[in-house]
Each structure stands twice: as structure tokens, then as C-alpha cells.
Copies of this chain bind each other. A is one copy, B any other.
Amino acid sequence: MSWQITAAEISDLARGAAVLGTGGGGDPYIGALLASAALQEYGAVTVVPLDEVPTDAVVLTVAMMGAPTVMVEKLPSLDEVISPVRALNAYLGRPVTHIACAEIGGVNSTIPIAAAAALGLPLLDADGMGRAFPELQMVLPTLYGINASPLAFSDEKGNVGVLQTVDNSWTERIARVACVEMGCSVMIAGFPMSGDQARESLVPGSLTQCVEIGQEITAARNEKSDPVERIVTLLGGRELFAGKVVDVQRATTTGFARGRARIDGTESSLILSFQNEHLIAESDGQTLVTTPDLIMVVEHDTGEPITTEGLRYGQRVRVITAPSDKRWHSTEALAMVGPGYFGYDVPPHRFDGTITVVEELA
């Protein structure tokens, strides 16, 4: 059943999205500000479950692309947020009917809310990943043969571009260099799809799940119980490690925030490697968990999610892990988002430490 997002839900939703964002997707605070402002100005947004989306819908994903380290200093205006949707309306020659999230993650779960509010369009209760990934072709729709093109990008200066590429990796490559040239952060809209394509390829219920995670954290804090345990239970995951952040190496290169963080526990250390999102967790030279399963860092006591660009020396944190959408464990998906793609010579390790057994794409 469809439901309404108002400014009241944004805080929980943004916090839950930042948990699922596995460290990436941009600063949840920035995204929440923008979404709240849009909801207050334009009214509530209707959130539509996938099974209620009309077959002939024209769905577009909306997202911010770039380095989170830059996004936190470049809050987009609402004009900038809707500019790529407007460009695609004109390019497609037919009106967009629904907005969807490309990924779940700080800014990229809330910016589509702002876009939907400003455009007066419903938002799908779904996203393209069930988590966040650093490159735009890394969405389940790519696996179902849905084109990222036409994809529009826009910056705060008023520059707009529309790409029509031969595959989704080329959309990423060209949009990424344009993004870097335009200041390392742009708004994008793309992956036009029908209601049926959205139903087949997106991860259902993402926004509901974000709100639930956020509510669970809030409830735990109010009830003085452990928020982290409750997140882990809700996600069907496990707690991987607890300790203190003792080292963070971070560089913004080729439009990404890349780096490594070391967390010291009582007996051992955990090393996290990230490219916008956490990709690998290892300890004593042993791989524990890898992309595509979720690796999330939260503040030790409050369960507050910490993004990769928010990691600081001395933070007391817990690292939790949870299974990804199972379609990410198919052969095609692992070629796109497995550790090998990111240059790590290890097989994909699941959240429970087992080596991935490849599953069929449903």
C-alpha cells in the first residue's frame, strides 16, 4: 500500500539509509536538509510499492554523482536536483511519471524525495541496489538489460548534458569525467524504465526498510537498549568487530573518495578498504567480508551510521555486516561489483564469512 513521506519521517529515513549506504551515498544530514525543505515547500510525497506501479509508468532514477567528500560542501539547490529530470522529459518527449532511488545511501535516498516533491511526482518504495555502490552502472537494472541512457547530468552553474551511450559502463565513464570537470559533484537522472521493468529489476521496499531501521535506532535509544543489536537483527546480519578508529587514509581521486581505515579492537585489528563505500573487511591478513555484501560502520553506543568520509581517529565504532540482495551474487553481478572489479584478488566473501556460491539471476 502506498504511504506518505512528510518532513517528520525524514530523520529516521535518512539515518536508516545511511546504515544501508555502507559508508557511501553521501552525507545523510545534507540530504535530509534538502528533502525536509522540499517537503515543507511542496507537501508530502506519495511512496508507491512496486506492485502498484502502472505497467506504462515512465520511471526515472535520480541521484547525486561524485565524491562524497565534495558533496558535503556543495549542497545542491532544488533547481539543480530537478534539472536533469526536466532535461530527460524534453529528450524522451513524454512526461516522467515516477521517481526512484538509484541506491540507498545518505544523500541518494533523500535527494529523490526532494526531486519527487518539487516535481509533484510519486516515488517508488524501491531502489536499484539495496545498498550503495560507487559507479552508476552498478545497479540491478543493468543486469536486466535496462539502459542507463538517456542519462542527464547537471551542475550548480546551470550546465546540463544528456548522454546516449552504447552500454551502461560508457555512461559511467563519460558522466564521471564530466562530473570531475564540473566540480566533482553533479545531479543525474537516468535509467528510464516502465513499471514492469521497475518491478522486475529494483529492490522492493527500500524506503520502508530505511524508515524501520531509523525507527529501531530511535526506539533503542529511548529504551536504553542496544541500537546496534537491533539493527543487526532487523537486517539478518551479524556484528563483525568493535574497536577504535586508529588510522584513516583517504584521497579524492578520479572523482571518488578512496581509502583504508584501521580499527583496533582488544585483541586484533580490522582493516576496511573503501571506494566511497566499504568494499572489504579483513583482519590479520584474512578476508572476512567483501562487496557485494554490506559492511557498515556505526558509532559504538548510539548506532549512528558513520560514512567513509566521516571516519575520524579515535571514534569508538562497531562494524556490522549483512547480506545483500541475493541477485548481487550472480555471475554477471559479481563481474560488475565483486572484489575483483575493484582490484582485490580475493573471492567474494559473504557476511557470514563463507565464500560466495554463485546464484542464478532470478
Contacts and interface: CB of A to CB of B under 8 A. Distances in A.
Most buried by B among A159, A170, A176, A180: A159
Which range holds the interface residue count of chain A?
A: 20 to 34
B162 A161 contact: yes
B159 A160 contact: no
A163 interface: yes
Contact of A160 (B87, B160, B163, B178): B163
Contacts of A166: 157-159
Contact of A163 (B91, B161, B173): B161
A146 interface: no
Interface string A156-186: 0111111111100010011011101110000
A93 to B, nearest CB: 9
Contacts of A164: 87, 159-161
A161 B181 contact: no
A157 to B, nearest CB: 5
Contacts of A178: 174, 177-178
A165 to B, nearest CB: 4
Contacts of A158: 165-166
B181 A173 contact: yes
A170 B155 CA distance: 11
Contacts of A165: 158-160
A33 to B, nearest CB: 26
A340 to B, nearest CB: 23
Contacts of A170: 157, 159
Nearest to A154: B164
A182 B170 CA distance: 9
A169 to B, nearest CB: 11
Contact of A161 (B174, B180, B182): B174
Contacts of A159: 163-166, 170, 174
A310 to B, nearest CB: 29
A27 B182 CA distance: 31
Contacts of A163: 159-161
Contacts of A87: 164
Most chain B beta-carbon contacts within 10 A, residue among A161, A165, A176: A161
A189 to B, nearest CB: 14
Interface in A93-112: none
Interface in A72-108: 87, 91
Interface string A176-202: 111011100000000000000000000
A337 to B, nearest CB: 21
Contacts of A177: 177-178, 180-181
Contacts of A91: 91, 162
Contacts of A157: 166, 170
15 contacts: A91-B162, A157-B166, A159-B165, A159-B166, A159-B170, A160-B165, A161-B161, A161-B162, A161-B163, A161-B164, A174-B178, A177-B178, A177-B180, A177-B181, A178-B178
Given A161-B163, A162-B162, A174-B181, 9 more contacts: A91-B162, A157-B166, A159-B166, A159-B170, A160-B164, A161-B164, A161-B174, A176-B181, A177-B178
Going nearest first, the 7 A-B pairs with the smallest beta carbon separation are A177-B177, A159-B165, A177-B181, A158-B166, A160-B164, A162-B162, A161-B163
